[in-house]
Amino acid sequence: MRVEQAHPVVLREIGKALTNPPDAILISAYLQHFNSVSAIAGLTKARGVPVVLGGPMFNLSEVAEEWRKIPGVSAVVGAEVDRDLPDLVEAICRPTDPLAFPGVMLPDGRRSAAARPLRNLDQTPMADFTDFPWDRYPGRIVPMMTGRGCQWDKCLFCSDVISVSGRTFRTRSVENVLLEMQEQSRRHETTNFLFLDLKLNSWPDMIRGIAKGVGRIVQGAEWIGTVHVDQRPDNGLARPDLEAAAAGGMRRISFGLESGSQRLLDEMQKGSSVERNSAFTRDAHAAGLSIRCTMFKGYPGETAADMEATARFLEDHARWLDRVRFNTFTVHTGTPIWSALTQKAAGSGGLSIARSDHRRARVDCRTTEAHTRAYRRAKARALEIVYQINSRQLRDTARQFDGLM
């Protein structure tokens, strides 16, 4: 796949950097970056420069096992090293014992104890984007996180809540988040922010606090984020909350719709209802927000009736949706549904594992479910509506955030 090829510009820049070799190279990698990491580590190995590799899924031993074998990689780190990183890098460069730090795997397979989720996020350093090449982008949009993890933490398919930083919900204080917005705005002369939290409403007072407070400290602030339309009596997404969010600069809101079938939502333990998703969609649009949703097809046991319900939901709500991302369902290593599949337990529908691809933390599945003509017809209908929605122009107010979420 093209996206997995090592990018020549990256290799060229690394080559330039190595003419005056640094003490170490630190790489934060997503799992599609295997070839790039291999190519970079190949270049650095020849110069004797250690490569410290981190990334969101290296807390999974199956995954770290694959990546630690890349020639030239000195350590694979599956831990939130916000506060420990300088000491860890020093331990690798000296070299003393990097295994004194939790969440580290060495090339020979030795590893330290699993790292615990980081507590007290207000004490983590603020991200430093000073060296980011802002001039190569059409606008300056600062990525931020108000917390880590998800208070619901139960969806059977979710790989986010088993990742390094997604395990257990932890939040910063509203004051700390607002302080960072003020500082990033000053440093980078921008008023635009992208919240990368798994969901901004795990603690409803966070989204309300940003909406209420940001105007005081960053005039004209605009921001976007993702939420979970869950069933708590107060999930921070009532109509007045959404209106306050829009008034406080929120421009775009994304949520995991997943399916229009209540049966399937319950099956995946999504903790949401079709009815509430529907009300949220209408309310968020009326409040002036651009709405994006994510969903998937092919969840184990999905029937023609489920797909019919999804197509119907999309038809009924198309006028309020700005973008839909309709993925094919993928099973990720370490998720509850992966455990069910590996143990051939109930809940795995007609799926079974054809091949484990731990390098990418996913498994290729084969299905014994024969999808009927009714299923295929409903899917074609759903895809047609998705195409129509995605072909439209975004709401004007959200244009600068196009493609980011």
Phi, psi of 54 (to 5 degrees): -125, 165
Which of 158, 324, 351, 363: binder of ligand SF4 (CB under 6 A)? 158
Q: Is 307 in the site for ligand SF4 (CB under 6 A)?
A: no
Range in contact with ligand SF4 (rule: CB under 6 A) among 38-46, 151-159, 317-325, 392-400: 151-159
Choose, by CB under 6 A, the member of 104, 161, 178, 214 that binds ligand SF4.
161
57 binds ligand SF4, rule: CB under 6 A: no
Q: Which helix (H) or strand (E) holds 307?
A: helix 304-317
**Which of 51, 257 has the CB closer to ligand SF4?**
257
**Max alpha carbon distance in the chain (Å)?**
64
Binder to ligand SF4 among 62, 90, 153, 183 (CB under 6 A)?
153
Cβ proximity to ligand SF4, 35 vs 294, nearer residue:
294
Contact window for ligand SF4 (CB under 6 A) among 122-130, 147-155, 277-285, 395-403? 147-155
Binding mask 96-135 for ligand SF4 (x = CB under 6 A): ----------------------------------------
Ramachandran angles phi, psi of 90, nearest 5°: -60, -40
Q: Which stretch binds ligand SF4 (CB under 6 A): 18-26, 85-93, 104-112, 145-153?
A: 145-153
Q: Is 222 in the site for ligand SF4 (CB under 6 A)?
A: no
Q: Which is nearer to ligand SF4, 53 or 150 (by Cβ)?
A: 150
Least spacing, CB of residue 162 vs ligand SF4, in Å = 9
8-state DSSP, 154: -
Options 102, 147, 256, 336; binder of ligand SF4; rule CB under 6 A: 256
Beta bridge partners of 171: 147
**Which of these ranges, 35-43, 152-160, 186-194, 365-373, lies near ligand SF4 under the rule CB under 6 A?**
152-160
Continuous segment of H or E residues that includes residue 256: strand 250-258
Buried b (16+ CB within 10 A) or exposed e, 62-75: ebbbbbbebebbbb
Give the nearer residue to ligand SF4 in terms of CB position, either 91 or 237. Answer: 237
Q: Which of 81, 198, 361, 382 binds ligand SF4 (CB under 6 A)?
A: 198
Exactly one of 104, 155, 162, 382 binds ligand SF4 (CB under 6 A); that residue is 155
Whether 372 contacts 383, CB under 8 Å? no
Q: Which amino acid is at 343?
A: Q
Q: Which residues contact 219 (CB under 8 A, 6 or more apart)?
A: 191
CB of 173 to ligand SF4, least distance (A): 21
Count of positions on this chain that bind ligand SF4 (CB under 6 A): 12
CB 250 within 8 A of CB 211: yes
- The Cα 148–Cα 177 span in angstroms is 13
Of the residues 208, 228, 292, 379, which one makes contact with ligand SF4 according to CB under 6 A? 228
Residues linked to residue 78 through DSSP beta bridges, in sequence order: none
* Cα–Cα distance for residue pair 54/113, rounded to 1 Å: 16
Cβ(116)–Cβ(228) under 8 Å? no
DSSP sequence for 266-292:
HHTT----HHHHHHHHHHHHHTT-EEE
Which 3 state secondary structure label does DSSP give 237? Answer: coil
Any contact of residue 76 with ligand SF4 (CB under 6 A)?
A: no
Count Cα atoms within 13 angstroms, Cβ side, for 237. 28
Q: Which residues bind ligand SF4 (CB under 6 A)?
A: 150, 152-155, 158, 160-161, 198-199, 228, 256
